[in-house]
Amino acid sequence: MITTVNPKGQVTIPEPLRARYGFPAGAKVIWLERDGDLIPKPLLSLAELAGRYPSSDVALTEALLAERALDHERESD
């Protein structure tokens, strides 16, 4: 598919591509440069990102608190 950049620098993403790649009306778009290519990606909200990446067996908060406790012990010595 071919689109045109208008005088304001805007490009229309064709509807079949918007539907396939998740660009609903009003979506924010992040533009990535990779190996000389310009890649548009929908910018996901925090709610959309929640649960997208599985957590490890150790909760991150617990890991952070344990690390801080070790730091505190080292500083106390």
Q: How confident is the model at residue 58 (pLDDT cuts 50, 70, 90)?
A: low
Task: Specify the DSSP class assigned to residue 32.
Answer: E
Q: What is the pTM of this model?
A: 0.54
The residue that leads in pLDDT, 51 or 72, is 72
State the Cα–Cα distance between residues 63 and 5, nearest whole angstrom.
48
Lowest average pLDDT, out of 1-5, 34-38, 54-58, 70-74, goes to 54-58
C-alpha separations of 53 from 16, 23, 27, 34, 49 in Å? 27, 21, 21, 23, 8
Query: If you ran DSSP here, which 8-state letter would residue 22 be given?
Result: T
13-57 pLDDT, tens digit each: 999 999 999 898 998 999 999 999 999 999 888 887 777 777 666
Q: What is the CA radius of gyration of the chain?
A: 21
Kindly give the residue spans of alpha helices, DSSP state H, lying in the chain. Answer: 15-21, 46-49, 60-76
